[in-house]
A and B are shown apart, each in its own frame.
Chain A
Amino acid sequence: MLDTLKSICERYDHYTELRYHDRIQNRIRVRTGILEEARSNRITGVGARVLIGGAWGFSSTSNTDKEAIIDAVEKAKRAAKARVVEEKVDIAPTPLATGRFESSPTEDSLVDHSLEEKLSLCIGANKMMDGVIGTTIYYEYIDHKYIATNDGAFCEIVDMKPTFMTIAVASEGAESVEVYGGKGVTGGWKALFSERSAADIASESRDKALTLLHAKRVGGGRATVIIAPDVTGILAHEAIGHTVEADLVLSGSIVSGKIGQKVANDCVTLVDSGQSPIKENAEGVVLVDDEGVPTKKTVIIDNGILRSYLHNRETAARFGVEPTGNARAFEYSDEPIIRMRNTYIEPVDWNFEEMVEDMREGYLIKNPLNGEASLSADFMFGIAEAYPIHNGELGDVEKLAAISGNAFDVLRSTDAISRDFEYCKPGHCGKGQPAKVGLGGPYIRCKAIIGGV
């Protein structure tokens, strides 16, 4: 297939990019003992993109015969030529990937575990969730791609991303509490359950929901808080990461024109990486992006200074920088757009217990439920748990509604960062099309507004 793609690309003088994607997606969902979903999907197809006269044209086909792929390129050409372009785009030249790239181990691969095993895993774990409305979900993407461009990309990519998730809803009268648990990785079966089994994840979610149901509600206001790695991750991704995606920078995000400026306290280094630094198997591993650009670690904020945006080849040309390997497409029929990969704040040297002991008043905040943020980095995240800290001691869990603020203000107020580090909270990021991303970080101590919405 890769040779076929290459031979088709080479027929054309204009930039031509062909991406074959074969995806197996299996998904099981069990709610209160009832199997709601048990499906296995396999989709294959080719996305064809051309750049003619400064205009993109994109077409896709689920028919992977050579003639159908050529037809897709011809349609992409017509799409590029059909409109008048006022602002011509270009792509930055860059070394492109050649060879085979595999991000998942060949041993203990997902394909060695049967559909039946995955189904019984969800049914078994669901039994651990009595006393709540419990949902257990297993899903996996098993991806095989070939990318060829007529300016040098010629590569094969194998990637596997399994996820196990739980939702526990505990309620009594009008009071209701929802708790999410789970893990997502890039890798095999062992990596997914390396720390906790599916049954442990399910019973932890259940216990947490039942505890929170009877917990008192936290007071509101501006406070010193230690945010746990799961909240640090969502802050880094949702409230900072989107503002530095170069397409959104061009739409006027708050960091437009601020490269080289101080945007956070000196201790803060914020990264988006296609690899899995610090800990293995991060969920958003992308070894080669969907334009065929090999990825690396992109330092966005380096010790408080804004150093880089996240680029595809088009925005890299526009800003006169190197592409960062952030062009991603969810399926063959999606056009590559700028997306994050593994976004996190780097750990420093505090130990978590010392951070707590060093605080007179405040809260430890963990377990985000949802989040939204604007291009000015104002954010509000729904949060499940708050633990009051009084004279260096952690109190009992309280129910929290939300944490909000401006993410850059939060990073400017950050005065302590732990050496403990975790990737957490499985899920997808949405930007017109879904993408599996990794989020995480250390515990960080900062100031934010907590409490009711």
Chain B
Amino acid sequence: MKKIDLDLCEDAVKMALKMGAQEAEAYATSEETIKTDVRYNVIANVTAHTKGAIGLRVFVNKGLGFASTNNVRYLEEACENAVRLARAAPRDEFSILPQPKKGGAVKVFDVPLSIEDCVSYTDDLIRSARGDKRVSIGMGGFSSCIQETYVANSNGINASEKRSDFEYWALGMCKDGDEVTDEVFRWGGTHFVHEIDTGKVGRAVGNAVLGLRGAKKTEGVQGEIILAPEALSEYLLRVLTESINADNVQKGVSKLKLKDMFSNHLTIVDDGSLPGGFSTSSFDREGVPHKPLTIIDRGELKSYLHNTYTANKAGTSSTGHAYGGPTSASSIAPTNFVIKPGDKRLKTIISEVDKGVIAEYFTGSVDMASGDFSGALKAGHLIDRGEITIPVKEVMIAGNFFDLLKNISGISRESRDLGGYKIPYIKTGGVSITS
């Protein structure tokens, strides 16, 4: 079978133009993935996948058509379908493909791992978490993905990149007699084999859940809350990343205002070129190079995330945030989304809280459009007169995520990397807390 590569993308662009497309883009990936799944302290599953696909986006009279296939025998059929759809599609004045732009290549590739290597890292993850046998890993896993990405378009873009992504994670709890603690989640990931540290993630989960033994339901918890990086990343930050997505802004879905939305403690930079970032790559889904983008600067909203389409509609340039795989046209997403760390250590921030709660994660419901949320903070500890005291079970909270960002009164120097998100601890208030 013919290989999926940059030459194939260039051939596909030519083929689409020959069939009547006025502009054409081909994006393809080819990858080898190995995954392990941990369930209740054992490796429940090991899988290995070889896949590749090519997607074609074409415009005829500014009408959009898209088709993809993972089988090069059907490439001609895909070109035909894309052109037919584009011919039948209504004109959209803003349809456009990007022009070539210079950007620096980043190094995100190391050597591949074998199935046996992946199993061995997974064993280390479980073993490190369970130095104390009361710790139990309910879910977890390790994955190795070696991927090549190719993009070519009729404006002359042609780029390729090879990357290796190694990820591992664990969700653990502690079972001590009849007591079962809340769960704690930790993630680790890197592009380089020598940086894989499954032991660190395992030990972090183990230590955190052992510290939750003896948690009590308390009444009348009041005051400030400190949210761990994991508590923010799970659902809550999505409210913000959806709101800064230019497509949502242009559709009127985003509720962001330019002024008075955020605490002046808050600075956020999204940087797809960040050295060592898990979401670092040389170019986006459309072949546009990444560069740092300040989204919020000391509380002031500075920019939205754009792909070429939304940028054209807004009369600006793409910020390099086109996102997606080869089976659909580009959407928009952040890359390495970095909340700038503060200048105080977490310990100092805790010492500044008279009464409050520090929590590991949030579970509940969040309305993406309004930012309203309600649910529970889990894996938490009470803070009393600047000191962490007892672990607490399920602190119910409700509020609005934008209010929470506006009320930030402290950001820690420590932050954790959560698959493209670099997040510190934040101290905030203005949410209703019950228990």
Contacts of A39 in B (CB 8 A): 66-68, 85, 327-329
In the complex the two chains form, is B85's CB within 8 Å of A115's CB?
yes
Interface residues in B29-77 (C-beta closer than 8 Å to A): 36, 42-43, 45-53, 63-71, 74, 77
B92 at the interface (CB under 8 A from A): yes
B163 at the interface (CB under 8 A from A): no
Contacts of B340 in A (CB 8 A): none
A38 at the interface (CB under 8 A from B): yes
Which one of B48, B51, B66, B74 contacts A38 once the chains associate, using CB atoms below 8 Å? B66
**Across the two chains, which residue of chain A brings its CB closest to B30?**
A62
What sequence of 0s and 1s flags, for each residue 37-81 of chain A, a beta carbon within 8 Å of any chain B beta carbon? 111111111000000000011111111110010011001101110
State in angstroms the CA–CA spacing of A116 and B85 once bound together.
Answer: 6
B78 at the interface (CB under 8 A from A): yes
State in angstroms the CA–CA spacing of A34 and B418 once bound together.
Answer: 36
B178 at the interface (CB under 8 A from A): no
A11 at the interface (CB under 8 A from B): no
CB distance from A65 to the nearest CB of B (A): 5
A335 at the interface (CB under 8 A from B): yes
Contacts of B251 in A (CB 8 A): 31
In the complex the two chains form, is A44's CB within 8 Å of B71's CB?
yes
State in angstroms the CA–CA spacing of A116 and B89 once bound together.
Answer: 8
What sequence of 0s and 1s flags, for each residue 63-103 of chain A, a beta carbon within 8 Å of any chain B beta carbon? 11100100110011011101100100000000000000000
In the complex the two chains form, is B47's CB within 8 Å of A119's CB?
no
State in angstroms the CA–CA spacing of A57 and B63 once bound together.
Answer: 45
Give the size range of B's interface with the partner.
35 or more
Contacts of B115 in A (CB 8 A): 75, 78-79, 82
B82 at the interface (CB under 8 A from A): yes
A120 at the interface (CB under 8 A from B): yes
A168 at the interface (CB under 8 A from B): no
Q: A57-B46, A82-B116 are in contact. Are A40 and B67 (CB under 8 A)?
A: yes
State in angstroms the CA–CA spacing of A65 and B69 once bound together.
Answer: 16
State in angstroms the CA–CA spacing of A68 and B77 once bound together.
Answer: 23
Interface residues in B324-381 (C-beta closer than 8 Å to A): 327-329
B301 at the interface (CB under 8 A from A): no
Contacts of B84 in A (CB 8 A): 114-116
A333 at the interface (CB under 8 A from B): yes
CB distance from A90 to the nearest CB of B (A): 16
In the complex the two chains form, is A72's CB within 8 Å of B66's CB?
no
B88 at the interface (CB under 8 A from A): yes
**Across the two chains, which residue of chain B brings its CB closest to A61?**
B50
What sequence of 0s and 1s flags, for each residue 113-126 of chain A, a beta carbon within 8 Å of any chain B beta carbon? 01110011001000
State in angstroms the CA–CA spacing of A61 and B82 once bound together.
Answer: 25
Which one of B71, B88, B90 contacts A64 once the chains associate, using CB atoms below 8 Å? B71
Most central of B46, B52, B81 by chain A CB within 10 Å? B46
Q: A76-B48, A86-B42 are in contact. Are A37 and B82 (CB under 8 A)?
A: no
State in angstroms the CA–CA spacing of A78 and B114 once bound together.
Answer: 10
The B contact surface, by secondary structure, is: mixed
In the complex the two chains form, is B89's CB within 8 Å of A41's CB?
no
B119 at the interface (CB under 8 A from A): yes
CB distance from B398 to the nearest CB of A (A): 11
In the complex the two chains form, is B71's CB within 8 Å of A42's CB?
yes
Contacts of B111 in A (CB 8 A): none
A35 at the interface (CB under 8 A from B): yes
State in angstroms the CA–CA spacing of A62 and B327 once bound together.
Answer: 14
State in angstroms the CA–CA spacing of A123 and B85 once bound together.
Answer: 13
**Across the two chains, which residue of chain B brings its CB closest to A119?**
B88
**Across the two chains, which residue of chain A brings its CB closest to B122?**
A83
**Across the two chains, which residue of chain A brings its CB closest to B88?**
A116
In the complex the two chains form, is A35's CB within 8 Å of B64's CB?
yes
Contacts of A123 in B (CB 8 A): 90
Contacts of B51 in A (CB 8 A): 45, 60-62, 333
State in angstroms the CA–CA spacing of A35 and B81 once bound together.
Answer: 16
Most central of A58, A80, A114, A335 by chain B CB within 10 Å? A58
**Across the two chains, which residue of chain B brings its CB closest to A44?**
B71
Contacts of A72 in B (CB 8 A): 48, 50
Which one of B1, B64, B92, B329 contacts A65 once the chains associate, using CB atoms below 8 Å? B1
Contacts of A35 in B (CB 8 A): 63-64, 89-90, 92
Contacts of B65 in A (CB 8 A): 38
Which one of A31, A78, A333 contacts B49 once the chains associate, using CB atoms below 8 Å? A333
In the complex the two chains form, is A61's CB within 8 Å of B88's CB?
no
In the complex the two chains form, is A83's CB within 8 Å of B46's CB?
yes
Which one of A41, A71, A83 contacts B68 once the chains associate, using CB atoms below 8 Å? A41
In the complex the two chains form, is A62's CB within 8 Å of B52's CB?
yes
CB distance from A178 to the nearest CB of B (A): 11
CB distance from B307 to the nearest CB of A (A): 13
Contacts of A333 in B (CB 8 A): 49, 51
Q: A60-B51, A61-B49, A335-B47 are in contact. Are A38 and B92 (CB under 8 A)?
A: no
Which one of A33, A37, A64, A76 contacts B66 once the chains associate, using CB atoms below 8 Å? A37
In the complex the two chains form, is A119's CB within 8 Å of B89's CB?
yes
State in angstroms the CA–CA spacing of A43 and B325 once bound together.
Answer: 14
Q: A63-B1, A115-B88, A120-B88 are in contact. Are A43 and B47 (CB under 8 A)?
A: no
CB distance from A52 to the nearest CB of B (A): 12
State in angstroms the CA–CA spacing of A333 and B66 once bound together.
Answer: 23
State in angstroms the CA–CA spacing of A61 and B115 once bound together.
Answer: 15
Contacts of A119 in B (CB 8 A): 85, 88-89
- In the complex, given contacts A40-B81, A42-B69, what are 20 additional A-B residue pairs having Cβ atoms less than 8 angstroms apart? A35-B63, A37-B329, A39-B66, A40-B66, A40-B78, A42-B74, A42-B77, A56-B45, A57-B46, A57-B47, A58-B45, A58-B46, A59-B48, A62-B50, A68-B50, A78-B116, A79-B46, A79-B115, A83-B42, A119-B88
Can you spell out 24 A-B residue pairs with CB atoms less than 8 angstroms apart?
A31-B251, A35-B89, A38-B65, A38-B86, A39-B68, A39-B85, A39-B329, A40-B82, A42-B78, A43-B70, A44-B74, A57-B47, A58-B45, A59-B50, A60-B49, A62-B50, A62-B71, A63-B1, A78-B116, A79-B47, A83-B42, A83-B46, A86-B42, A115-B85
A-B pairs with lowest CB-CB distance, top 6: A79-B46, A39-B66, A40-B81, A116-B88, A75-B48, A40-B67
